[in-house]
Structure 1
Amino acid sequence: MSAGLLRNSFKGAASAAPFFPTLLDQIPNAIVIFEADSQQLVYVNPAAESALDLSRKSLEGHNFHDLFGDNLQLGEMIHEVKSGQAPAQRQELLLHSLPGSIHQETIPAHVVIALMDDSDLMLMEWFPIDQQLRTERDERVTQQVEANKELMRNLAHEIKNPLGGIRGAAQLLEFELPEKGLREYTQVIIKESDRLQTLVDRLLAPHRKAHVMEYFNVHEALERVRSLVLAEFPKGLKIVRNYDTSLPDILGDREQLIQAVLNIAHNAAQALSVEIEAGVAQIELRTRVARSVTIAKQRYKLALDLDVIDNGPGIPADIRERIFFPLVSGREGGSGLGLTLAQTFVQQHQGSIACDSKPGCTHFHIQIPYRRQEKSE
């Protein structure tokens, strides 16, 4: 494959290189190809676009060092391969993202540098070395959360029947009391029974309602979330839209997704009380497309990346690892069910939800795969 053909493919002329770039497009690891002498980029695959958080078009005109800066270890690997000291080099090192990308970070990665059949071209392939560890951790967390949910569902069913009996007995007792002043105590029993009944209903609700699957515009759903939060917090809070308007409609339960994002955004707004009072509170709603993603060991070509980011005080460290567990809340008077329900709704869409929090920034990341539905004639 010549440099000219690959460069044409980089610019979108798929007919110039119908097979090779198409083959690399299917590889889940990030790959870039560049000229050995000028180090000008001639090709990036979709996985590299996703890893760099930049489109192929935006990378046109860049050279290899624009991607990762002056990385000495990477430079030595390229020099050894280019000079013929080794046909390929493999090494674990730190990669820095391209300046101007959305997620600027340092990533520990396993990197391969190789000379291609055309000696004018070099290939770099990389993947995060913490990917497997993260997958295993997510699997353990998912199992633990599922066990907790099952426990809470069983507990809710066990509470539900006697709770109704307690409330009914309190009502009958109220009618038999000779003094009206004593009815204050039966009212306490009735009101507390109603409160517990509401809590039980919320625990059981996600498993009762049938899914209403349809194609819908995710941004219309986010606009509804935005209007609901701003209606409750009209002053001192700014909700920033950061949408990729090219996203296709997604297949899912619109109301469930709205509720999931609303639970997260509402929690964020409540945590921003100090910032709201100072007039500096901000929540960002961001959407992007992710390519070649793995969720719960299932590979998907495309997925929706949905982020809710706030500039609040952060989640308390002592509950940070347990925020999706039922009845865990960092707010006094909170039920601890909002994030549990959000996680349930996202998982029912074969998606994943994660949180990264520190003082000044809490970032919830939702990923939902794009799936196809068989349509009846």
Structure 2
Amino acid sequence: MVEQASYKQILDSLTTAVIVLDYQLKVSYLNASAESLMGISSEHLVGKSIEVCFGVKDGTPKSLQEALEENRHFTRRQVCWKLHNQQEVTLDYTVTPTPEIGYITVEIQPLDRLLRISREEAWISSQETSRNLVRSMAHEIKNPLGGIRGAAQLLSRELGDSQLEEYTRIIIDETDRLRNLVDRMLGPRTPPDMESLNIHEVLEHVVSVVRMEVQGNVEIKRDYDPSIPNIEGDKTQLVQAFLNIVRNAIQALTENQEQQDPNVIITTRIKLRYTIGRINYPLVVKVSITDNGPGISKDIVGDIFFPMITGRAEGSGLGLSIAQNLIGRHYGLIECNSETGHTEFAVYIPLGKRHA
């Protein structure tokens, strides 16, 4: 016979959010997926009215009470719930009453999550296609560059005119510049040297570097969760990735002459049962880098992680592309949401054992 504790373990393993209510519509139980959806632990909800979980404008609590009284099952599609933290989610939910024991089971399937997963799968695929294209183009470009540079060096040795030698020096310098640009587009050539490290050590190193660069012109705020366990990662590559993102935010702030009280906030949190691509991870660390700058143009916000895409006149369009590549080497992903006065880069890195 399966014990009660085993039932709880089974329910906690589900990707479907499950909430159990008593006949007074008070929360009796919610599984781990429901906690993640609601953004609050079961300890804070058990014994409280379902109305604490979300807004009542869609009539959900009344429908639940009627379902219990009439012993009626029902399903609602594409309902918008406003959660306790004012976040809105679109979801389907199914209600199953058991009036003989006075409980209602609510099974919830967030549509936002499914849409996000589908969008991420397509985006990851297009990123991989882009990287393969860049690699192929880079090799085709570097080969003739090497020949041009070598020919310019040989020509320089044969010339006796200093003015003509100046021309060959320009050729050599420009071919070197193009080769360095191609190397940056390719990103690191060595695989990450994985070790156990504290994500906050990486972030503190980044903060110390950018604080020296901004000289107090931009306020850097931190909101860390100290309970986050160590991750497996390459410290050098992670520092580079986060440095690129934070610098991008700072540049957006400093280039906006009308910016008032410019600041960047770095936040760390744990996400439960989070899907990246097609893989569902029990625990993921989320690092949010948020600035109060002018935002990113809607015309390019969906493409900013591709090489050479930038909204800045002086930008190279490589920093965010390299950051995405480096986080991808850690099985993670970077997302961006931007509007005027609030731009967030959310970095997700899996914790613990990775499995398909």
Q: TM-score, normalised by structure 2?
A: 0.91
Alignment of 1:343-362 (within 5 A): 343-362=324-343
Other structure's SS at 2:48 match: coil
1:319 to 279, 283, 300: 300
2:29 to 35, 39, 43: 43
Of 212-221 and 314-323, more deviation after overlay is shown by 314-323
Q: CA deviation at 1:278?
A: 5.1
Other structure's SS at 1:83 match: helix
Of 124-133 and 282-291, more deviation after overlay is shown by 124-133
Change (3 A) 1:75 1:301: same
Match of 2:245 in 1: 264
- For 1:241 and 1:174, locate their aligned partners in 2 and report how far apart those are by CA, in whole Å: 54
Residues 251 and 372, structure 1, Cα contact 8 Å, conserved in 2: no
Which structure 1 residue ranges, 5 or more long, are not aligned?
1-15
Residues 77 and 113, structure 1, Cα contact 8 Å, conserved in 2: no
The amino acid of 1:367's aligned partner reads: Y
Other structure's SS at 1:164 match: helix
- For 2:129 and 2:107, locate their aligned partners in 1 and report how far apart those are by CA, in whole Å: 38
Q: CA deviation at 1:169?
A: 2.3
Match of 2:106 in 1: 124
Which structure 2 residue ranges, 5 or more long, are not aligned?
none
Alignment of 1:157-172 (within 5 A): 157-172=139-154
Change (3 A) 1:218 1:45: same
Q: CA deviation at 1:272?
A: 0.7
- For 2:98 and 2:13, locate their aligned partners in 1 and report how far apart those are by CA, in whole Å: 18
Residues 236 and 276, structure 1, Cα contact 8 Å, conserved in 2: no
Match of 1:147 in 2: 129
1:46-70 residue CA offsets vs partner (Å, 9 max, x unmatched) = 1122112223333355321011122
1:109 to 80, 91, 101: 91
Residues 35 and 122, structure 1, Cα contact 8 Å, conserved in 2: yes
1:68 to 50, 54, 61: 54
How many equivalent residue pairs? 352
- For 1:286 and 1:145, locate their aligned partners in 2 and report how far apart those are by CA, in whole Å: 26
Q: TM-score, normalised by structure 1?
A: 0.86
Q: CA deviation at 1:274?
A: 4.7
Other structure's SS at 2:300 match: helix
Q: CA deviation at 1:277?
A: 7.6
Match of 1:340 in 2: 321
| Identical positions, percent | 38
**Superposition RMSD in Å:** 2.2
- For 2:278 and 2:352, locate their aligned partners in 1 and report how far apart those are by CA, in whole Å: 16
- For 2:186 and 2:73, locate their aligned partners in 1 and report how far apart those are by CA, in whole Å: 60
Other structure's SS at 2:302 match: helix
- For 1:118 and 1:21, locate their aligned partners in 2 and report how far apart those are by CA, in whole Å: 21
1:211 to 184, 188, 192: 192
- For 1:43 and 1:240, locate their aligned partners in 2 and report how far apart those are by CA, in whole Å: 37
Q: CA deviation at 1:118?
A: 5.8
1:28-55 residue CA offsets vs partner (Å, 9 max, x unmatched) = 1222222221x33222221122112223
The amino acid of 1:30's aligned partner reads: A
Q: CA deviation at 1:79?
A: 2.5
Are 1:289 and 2:289 an aligned pair?
no
Other structure's SS at 1:112 match: strand
Other structure's SS at 1:319 match: coil
1:339-375 residue CA offsets vs partner (Å, 9 max, x unmatched) = 11111112222222211111111111121211338xx
Are 1:298 and 2:279 an aligned pair?
yes
1:58-100 residue CA offsets vs partner (Å, 9 max, x unmatched) = 335532101112234312321221111513444431111113x
